[in-house]
Amino acid sequence: MQESVEGKKKLIIKIVVTILAVCAVGGVWFVKNGQEPVAEGMSADDLKMRQEKEAVEGYFPLHVTEEIDLEGLKSYGLPIVIDFGADSCAPCKAMAPVLETLNEEMAGEAIVLFVDVWKYNDLASDFPIEVIPTQVFIDSEGNPYAPDENEEIQFLQYSYRDTGEIAFTVHQGGITEEQLRNVIAEMEAGND
């Protein structure tokens, strides 16, 4: 009988140790996975700044990899610039820093997006893209941008066949940061 009691004590100890081990492993997993992942080389300050920027209404990551919900974007009441290009196209590479700067600086004031058409070709199918880079411009009221005739930048406007209404305003080729800022400011003024 005493052996039976000893056997039960050993069994209980094994069960308790197993439960404690499972709890310890589970606790470590929850602590590790409950924290925001930090990108390699990103400091805690950089992570905090990224989180604050993402909390701003109207902030969108620069690189689009999924469907473009144009009606959803228009609902923010912000000017929209969508640059269709490729990471390996020379003029597109020259524009990349401009797009990054404007996407960060204008969060909540304008939506600046980039679509790599060589990686995500299907995302360009609803837009009149003939060459890259091509920028599509939509004013803060959700309408295709109506450029000033005196504008030094050449824009193309595409119309619907059945109504003749302007569907898209685009610019083909590279565009400078100053030119892009001026166009965004003009598109923003359309909402005043």
- Higher-pLDDT residue of 3, 35: 3
d(CA 25, CA 137): 52
130 alpha-carbon distance from chain centroid: 23
Per-residue pLDDT at 44? 64
Phi, psi of 166 (to 5 degrees): -65, 130
Provide the percentage of residues in the chain whose pLDDT is more than 70. 70
Residue 186 has pLDDT above 50, yes or no: yes
Q: What's the mean pLDDT when you consider all of the chain?
A: 82
Residue 132 has pLDDT above 90, yes or no: yes
Residues 96, 116 within the same domain: yes
> 100 lies in which domain range?
44-189
Residue 148 has pLDDT above 50, yes or no: yes
Per-residue pLDDT at 6? 72
Residue 131 has pLDDT above 60, yes or no: yes
Residues 64, 149 within the same domain: yes
Residue from 99, 100, 81, 181 nearest 140 by CA:
81
Residues 161, 112 within the same domain: yes
Reported as a pLDDT band with limits 50, 70 and 90, residue 37 is very low
Residue 20 has pLDDT above 60, yes or no: no
Residues 92, 179 within the same domain: yes
Sheet strands (E) in 21-85:
63-64, 80-85
CATH number at residue 163: 3.40.30.10
Residues 61, 16 within the same domain: no
Residues 149, 172 within the same domain: yes
166-172: strand order across its sheet? 63-64, 111-116, 80-85, 134-138, 166-172, 156-159
**pTM of the prediction?**
0.70
Helix (H/G/I), strand (E/B), else coil: 31: helix
What digits encode the pLDDT tens for the residues 47-98?
A: 555 545 544 555 799 999 999 999 999 999 999 999 999 999 999 999 999 9
- Number of domains within the chain: 2
Residues 82, 127 within the same domain: yes
- Higher-pLDDT residue of 118, 34: 118
Per-residue pLDDT at 189? 76
Residues 75, 13 within the same domain: no
d(CA 67, CA 123): 6
- Report, as an integer, the average pLDDT of 38-43: 53
Per-residue pLDDT at 138? 97
Q: Which residues pair with 113 in a beta bridge?
A: 82
Per-residue pLDDT at 46? 58
